[in-house]
Amino acid sequence: MTTTYTLVPGADGRAWMWHRLAAELQARGHRVITLDLPTDDAAGYDEFAEAIGDAVLQNFDRSGPLVVVAQSLAGFHAPVACERLPVPVAELVLLNAMVPVPGEAAGQWWDDTGQPKARAEYAVASGRQPSLDVDVWVDFFHDVPPEVTAEALAQGGAAPPSTLFEQPWPLTEWPDITTRLLQGRDDRFFPLEFQRRLARERLGLEVEAIPGGHLAALSHPHELADHLARTGP
């Protein structure tokens, strides 16, 4: 059966970040929907949910199941979009994603969850010097092919809207949708054991470890596509 995968980017906000994974999924006979997220600094949950909903409604032909894949920051706004879609979502896949609780703002999540401490401890355990500053080469692109990294950084990209970090998560509970959590074994930003703890505490679920770091869709698209196609509806 052909599955339609709606791929929602993280803080980068660009559909481009999915291009390697999209090609792999399409080669397996699946349909793929990608989108650029709003860049207006005033954009919040309503605008993000609308952008995701518009992309789905314009491209989903209802011939098979719909799966939404949410990268990183999209763990906050993709569940909101899923709740508002007028078409059923067969599965929500959280890929190296943030998992919110009701009323929590994305800007609060870091201290609430202990992410800075977990990131620093993982750096030390990996033989690296911990740093409070985020280094895109070290934290995100360490396992991405150099030519793909160069293209990504050459294109630039806008920072996510500050409003999204300030608004409390609007849902009162997690959507009643089958949810899977895929987590890169080598993610330096959200370490695997940190994500395992959050998944258990906040969703009562176990993560599925996959190859790659935070940007697995760029570094290991073939393996990620295999995993999605194997575990999806």
pLDDT digits (tens, 9 = 90+) for 123-176: 999 999 999 899 999 999 999 999 999 999 898 777 899 999 999 999 999 999
Q: What is the per-residue pLDDT for 232?
A: 46
Tell me the residue ranges of DSSP E strands in 1-158: 4-8, 31-34, 66-71, 91-95
Number of independent structural domains in the chain = 1
Q: What is the per-residue pLDDT for 1?
A: 81
Q: Three-state DSSP class for 172?
A: coil
Q: What is the per-residue pLDDT for 155?
A: 83
Question: pTM for the full model?
Answer: 0.96
Residue with tokens 């869709």: 217
Q: What is the per-residue pLDDT for 231?
A: 53
Q: What is the per-residue pLDDT for 129?
A: 94
Tens-digit pLDDT string for the chain (233 aa): 899 999 999 999 999 999 999 999 999 999 999 999 999 999 999 999 999 999 999 999 999 999 999 999 999 999 999 999 999 999 999 999 999 999 999 999 999 999 999 999 999 999 999 998 999 999 999 999 999 999 998 987 778 999 999 999 999 999 999 999 999 999 999 999 999 999 999 999 999 999 999 999 999 999 999 999 875 44
Residue 141 sits in a domain whose CATH number is 3.40.50.1820
Q: What is the per-residue pLDDT for 183?
A: 98
The string of DSSP letters for 108-142 reads HHHHHHTHHHHHHHHHHHTT----SS--IIIIIST
Residue 138 burial (CB count, 10 A): 15
Give the integer Cα–Cα distance in Å for 36 and 38.
Answer: 7
Question: Domain residues for 156?
Answer: 4-231
Angle of helix 115-125 relative to helix 106-113, nearest 10 degrees, comes to 50
